[in-house]
Chain A
Amino acid sequence: MAQHLFKNFLEDQNVYILNVSYWQKTVTKILAESDRQNTRFKEYLNTSFANGTPFLDGNPIFNALFENNKAIRIIQEEPESNEVVIAAWLDQVETIPELVIALELSKESKQIADDFIKAWIAENVDVKKMQRLIKDKTIDKEALQDTDTIVRFAICTRNDDYEDLQPLKIYQIDEFSRNGYIRVIDEFGKDYLYPDNYFIPIELPQTIEQTLLAVSHNIAI
């Protein structure tokens, strides 16, 4: 169960201001703890309308361009559940790589966000390593909690409207969604969303599952 922080940040402007300051202090602390206290950063996005009225919507609640030519944008969403909600992806601002973190702020999601910020800025990991870290830390826990076992594969049962799908073929599941969609990975390693009723999730014996996962990661067994 997530322990939310600054829960009413969208309702109370004073809380919002404290919340913004909290993120600034968080980043400063992460840099200091990594012996990077001299790393300078500045805002690169405008977070007010043209008449000066601030957005105050948490989108983003923090943004910074760092001197190692990387950027971070944090989007804080209104808490809607008791679960730990966090997602992240890499984007590009002109030529500058940008880490985007979207979360419902809780003690638990904050810990993951801290790890992302530390890796991206303090440890200066490259895009590939960052993508791996994001994937490792933001696996779709909600879907996995619905069952006692981790379902990693599904059989396609139909392909009407989606001719790229092959019925009877086994696909690796990348992510479940509660909106009635499932993200699967094709034979080229690309992930796509499809309606979840086009698939039947399957449990496989561990040895077979490991073999298939190894194949999908191009690891020689």
Chain B
Amino acid sequence: MVHRGRIQAQGGGVEKSVSWSRETPPTKKEGLNMINTLENQLSPSDAKIRAKAFEKARSFVNKAANNGGVDAQVSKSFRVKETKDVRVDIEVIIGKAFI
């Protein structure tokens, strides 16, 4: 079975993502690493404005791991308040994630 999904930084002129498509579901550690990788791809200002959103994304991955992971289809958007659409998204498209 293929497990597929992505973590994205969106809005405010930014569209960066880290994705997975593989036969084993990504673990909590791998999920957190993907978030870190995405954060490091952004400019300092784009990362700074999304700092809280990245924290919420990490918290979701941790919570998921404590509850057996998540099964597709899951879509979470962690928006930066007081902006129109600046956010960090987690999408589990097929299979399982964050076990």
Contacts and interface: CB of A to CB of B under 8 A. Distances in A.
Contacts of B64: 49-50
A116 B75 CA distance: 20
A135 to B, nearest CB: 9
Contacts of B83: 87, 175, 177, 179, 181, 183, 193
B69 A85 contact: no
Contact of B82 (A47, A60, A94, A179): A179
Interface string A41-75: 00011110111010000011001000000000101
B75 A60 contact: yes
B72 interface: yes
Given A191-B12, A193-B12, A193-B45, A75 B67 contact: no
Interface string B31-54: 000000000000111100100000
Contacts, number: 95
Q: How many of chain B's residues touch chain A, expressed as a range?
A: 20 to 34
Contacts of B7: none
Nearest to A185: B13
A166 interface: no
Given A46-B71, A179-B49, A181-B49, A192 B76 contact: no
B55 to A, nearest CB: 14
Contact of A75 (B45, B79, B84): B79
A217 interface: no
B30 interface: no
B85 A50 contact: no
A128 interface: no
Contact of A73 (B71, B72, B75, B86): B75
B17 to A, nearest CB: 13
Given A46-B71, A49-B63, A51-B68, A190 B13 contact: yes
Contacts of A87: 79, 83-85
Contacts of B77: 59, 73, 75, 100, 102
A66 B49 CA distance: 34
B9 to A, nearest CB: 11
Contacts of A177: 49, 80, 82-83, 86
B73 A46 contact: yes
A128 to B, nearest CB: 16
B76 A53 contact: no
B96 interface: yes
Interface in A114-142: 138, 140, 142
Interface string B8-32: 0001111000000000000000000
A142 B70 contact: no
Given A49-B63, A73-B75, 16 more contacts: A44-B73, A45-B75, A46-B70, A46-B73, A46-B74, A49-B69, A73-B77, A87-B79, A87-B83, A87-B85, A100-B77, A102-B77, A138-B84, A161-B44, A161-B45, A193-B46
Interface of B: 11-14, 43-46, 49, 63-64, 67-86, 93, 96, 99
